[in-house]
Amino acid sequence: MKLITYTQNGRSGVAVLNDESDRWIDLTAAGIAPSMLTLVEAGPTGMRAVQSLLAAADAPILSPPFLTCAPIPVPRRNIFCVGKNYREHAVEFGRSGFDAAASDRDDVPEQPIVFSKATTSVIGPGELIPRHLDTSNSVDYEGELAVIIGRGGRAITRAEANAHIFGYTIINDVTAREAQKRHEQWLLGKSIDGFCPMGPTVVTADEIGDIGELQLITSVNDEVRQNASVRDLIFDVPTLIRTISAFITLLPGDIIATGTPAGVGIGFKPPRFLTAGDRVAVRIDPIGILENPVS
Ligand code: MG
């Protein structure tokens, strides 16, 4: 299933795509869920209600115009993120001079590097990335596949992990590189308001199947900068879920951004940071294209 969070006439809700009619069915108007988060929390019961509605002749249709928002506009807590999770990106970051932890040892981490982005950094498709909030002019993009947790839990094994996934979306892990370097940790430089574009849809796990077949393509002003297979992840999604849940109880609706491939702005010499008027588009089919203009 493909789901969106929308606003229309000052009202927000969640909708599902009817593949046959190519129309959005309004799950909020139907009384199934007021938001994506409540739909995720409803678990299999919620999804059965969605299936029944899709089969119903009188399902309420969400007709244009409406605005597509971040799927979870206000996450319950920080977004989990993974650093250096594609080999070539780990090398480009290590060599860039912006990695405060860079050393002579191998750039590829032995264990997943987990950090987070503040909930207040989330914006939706089409919203302006407020580059001006970083006074060091070192704003960079990072296209990433993000996992949305369905069933929560702790000490989840790799074998159990897939059963805990609700679906997938796209995140642009926008980063102020100078802040990332200067403060020797990643929270501040990655948590600036508006630095977490998310969307445009959530595709449920059953519909994606093998995420290794997904291709991630990031463009700046139509110039392709990142083009990688999600199969190249160093630590795959079950490993990330096992690692995080070994320490922290995962909750329904938690979001894990899985890391970015090579081709970010600091991979170039000199670095190619985002500038006013740029447009960044992260594409992962079938989730769609997450495009945002830059202030
Ligand atoms: Mg990242």
pLDDT in tens, 173-205: 999 999 999 998 899 999 999 999 999 999 999
Distance 144 CA to ligand 1 centre (A): 7
Distance 264 CA to ligand 1 centre (A): 10
Distance 62 CA to ligand 1 centre (A): 34
Distance 65 CA to ligand 1 centre (A): 33
Distance 58 CA to ligand 1 centre (A): 43
Report the pLDDT value the prediction gives residue 104, as an integer from 0 to 100: 53
Tell me the C-alpha distance between 131 and 18, whole Å.
37
Distance 81 CA to ligand 1 centre (A): 6
**Which residues keep their CB under 5 angstroms from ion ligand 1?**
142, 173, 260
Distance 169 CA to ligand 1 centre (A): 14
Report the pLDDT value the prediction gives residue 100, as an integer from 0 to 100: 82
Report the pLDDT value the prediction gives residue 106, as an integer from 0 to 100: 63
Tell me the C-alpha distance between 256 and 236, whole Å.
12
Report the pLDDT value the prediction gives residue 262, as an integer from 0 to 100: 96
Report the pLDDT value the prediction gives residue 7, as an integer from 0 to 100: 98
Report the pLDDT value the prediction gives residue 103, as an integer from 0 to 100: 63
Q: What is the pTM of this model?
A: 0.97
Report the pLDDT value the prediction gives residue 185, as an integer from 0 to 100: 87
Distance 211 CA to ligand 1 centre (A): 18
Distance 186 CA to ligand 1 centre (A): 10
Distance 29 CA to ligand 1 centre (A): 36
Distance 104 CA to ligand 1 centre (A): 22
Q: Give the chain's residues under pLDDT 50.
A: none
